[in-house]
Amino acid sequence: RQVCDLGSQIADALTAAHAIHIVHRDLKPDNILLEPRDDGTFLIKVLDFGVARITAGANLPTSDLTRMGTVIGTPGYMAPEQAMGESVDFRVDIYALGVIMWECIAGKVLWDGASVSELFTTQLAGQAPPLGTEVPGLPPELSALVDLMLDRNPRRRPESARQIRDALRRMSHSTLIAAPSHKPAVPATAVANPLPRWLVPVSIGVLVVLVVIGLTMGQGKTAQRPNDGTAPTPATPATP
């Protein structure tokens, strides 16, 4: 249910971008920020539109933005047509969202390889494994939607991010969506980190500083204690 909620928020951001003819082209976990809310849920923010493409229909020049034969994106999250350098549209974002949801639910990386070329070979050789076979007990409606988003043929993917958003919103409020019958094994390399990668070293550094300060304060308090073995005399309350 949480994956449906987060997925619907990402799809909502894509809906807004696609409405003004912008394709992200590099949607991946590193470009998604989770901001905790007071009620325990998360607010999604889609970041880094640095390689976004302005599609035909926008009142902006597009001649220098993308040319056929140029591969831009992140291996493992690029759609097949994007990895092959073909012309792309909003459906590459739908594919990338499908990869993200597949990995969140299955608890492992979808496309992997010892090298980029091996990864692409595996991805382009066949269809993604059906999510329902990876996670037994998953509602058929959810697995079918993710499988459709990952279709190699962009024409067979959902018609729009809006359609995905609305479907995920319905499923996030459905009583039929529940936790799978087993907890998927998540390899160490696939464990989600709620902090952006660049922030992890900073967080560790801050933690070390706080520990040092705590130890220093503790030593200071120890030095101030009486060393004659007697307990300190409690303060006499003031007479009203």
Residues 6+ apart with CB under 8 A from 89: 23, 55, 154
Name the active-site residue from 26, 39, 93, 112: 26
pLDDT at 98: 96
pLDDT in tens, the chain (240 residues): 889 999 999 999 999 999 999 999 899 999 999 999 998 889 999 987 755 666 655 444 443 444 444 567 888 899 999 988 888 899 999 999 999 999 999 999 999 888 888 888 888 888 899 999 999 999 999 999 999 999 999 999 999 999 999 999 999 887 555 545 444 443 333 334 443 433 334 333 434 333 334 444 444 444 444 444 444 445 444 444
Rounded Cα distance between 79 and 66, Å, is 16
pLDDT at 177: 55
Q: For 36, phi and psi rounded to 5 degrees? A: -65, 140
- Taking Cα atoms as reference points, which of 186, 176, 115 lies closest to residue 142? 176
pLDDT at 143: 95
Q: Output the CA torsion 19→20→23→28 (10° steps).
A: -70
pLDDT at 24: 92
26 counts as catalytic: yes
Rounded Cα distance between 201 and 205, Å, is 6
